[in-house]
């Protein structure tokens, strides 16, 4: 199976149409880290199969994730396109807020380069913009890092259409990273059209909406499940949301795939400039996720999905909802 490549934005580099999200290889939500040998083997197998877009963040496991990615790409830097998010401050696993000061960004990047064992980060992006620091200062600092050769391309993440336009006016944005799935379509109103108009690629994460679209979820969730934090997965909301997922499960059964594969395939078919970013930490997940990139829908199937999962059809929110 050959991995399709896309241009990352109008003027960007060629990257794989499927991206590998590395976050879950590190301790997130207070959980333990995945098996390191298996995680490294997963990254290397992805590279072997032409999946070169690797997504990490300096705050994933307090640098653990970057160190892991660094080990996996050692000796094969040219096979990988490294995307790094920065700006989030965690302490003992608790979110404290953002630090987007230029002085902080200049500090963050050097630590990232050392942990990754590389000289240049391919795509560097603030994880969010909260108005604490002017957009011009945040983006301007990354523009300076690009001039210095520490960064190749500017990315942004989790922002509004207005912020995207502003950032792009300071320095050309190559890619927008944002949550997007059948269950989370609010970005279709303003943000997706803005990205398309400006020629910016979309790196779409959370394609299965925190597990809702996998078809494996049952109500009520176990007490320890992290999804319990979100209104989408609570009480009657979850019961009603899972009724919608039955449509996806039925279609998956008829087509001979899993609901998760169809969820990824739906995102993939939303445009040539849209990349599904799929989290994996085990090699056995790679073939099914690559296969999802080959799935096509008939017009009738697409209508059924778009009607069943129209904006607002899924009740309650997750952190994706801004």
Which residues are identified as catalytic? 60
Cis before 220? omega within 30: yes
One-character DSSP codes across 115-136: HHT-S-EEEEEES---SSS-HH
Helical axes 64-73 vs 36-48, angle rounded to 10°: 50
Alpha helices in 171-285 (DSSP H): 191-198, 235-255, 259-268
Q: Specify the residue for token string 């690629």.
A: 201
Q: Specify the residue for token string 């394609």.
A: 207
Burial class (CB in 10 A: 0-12, 13-18, 19+), 271: middle
Q: What are phi and psi of 140, to 5 degrees?
A: -60, -35
242 and 219 Cβ atoms separated by less than 8 Å: yes
Distance CA 191, CA 132 (A): 21
Helical axes 135-148 vs 161-170, angle rounded to 10°: 40
């Amino acid at each position: 199976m050959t991995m399709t490549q896309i241009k990352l934005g109008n003027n960007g580099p060629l990257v794989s149409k499927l991206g590998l999200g590395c976050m879950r290889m590190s301790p997130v939500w207070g959980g333990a880290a995945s098996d390191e040998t298996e995680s490294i083997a997963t990254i290397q197998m992805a590279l072997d199969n032409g999946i070169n877009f690797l997504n990490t963040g300096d705050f994933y496991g307090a640098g653990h994730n970057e160190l892991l990615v660094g080990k996996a790409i050692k000796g094969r830097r040219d096979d990988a396109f490294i995307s790094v998010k920065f700006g989030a401050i965690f302490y003992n696993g608790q979110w404290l807020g953002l630090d987007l000061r230029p002085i902080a960004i200049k500090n963050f990047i050097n630590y990232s380069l050392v942990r990754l064992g590389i000289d240049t980060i391919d795509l560097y992006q603030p994880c969010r913009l909260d108005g604490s620091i002017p957009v011009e200062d945040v983006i301007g600092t990354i523009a300076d890092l690009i001039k210095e050769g520490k960064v190749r391309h500017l990315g942004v993440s989790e922002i509004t259409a207005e912020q995207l336009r502003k950032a792009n006016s300071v320095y050309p944005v190559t890619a927008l990273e944002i949550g997007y799935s059948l269950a989370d379509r609010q970005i279709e109103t303003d943000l997706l059209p803005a990205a398309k108009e400006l020629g910016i690629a979309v790196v779409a994460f959370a394609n299965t909406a925190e597990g809702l679209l996998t078809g494996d979820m049952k109500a009520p969730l176990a007490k320890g499940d992290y999804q319990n934090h979100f209104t989408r997965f609570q009480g009657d909301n979850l019961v009603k949301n899972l009724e919608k997922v039955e449509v996806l499960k039925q279609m998956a059964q008829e087509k001979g795939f899993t609901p998760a594969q169809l969820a990824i395939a739906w995102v993939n078919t939303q445009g040539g400039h849209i990349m599904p970013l799929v989290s994996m930490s085990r090699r056995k997940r790679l073939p099914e996720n690559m296969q999802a990139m080959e799935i096509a829908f008939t017009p009738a199937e697409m209508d059924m999905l778009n009607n069943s999962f129209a904006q607002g059809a899924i009740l309650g929110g997750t952190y994706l909802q801004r």
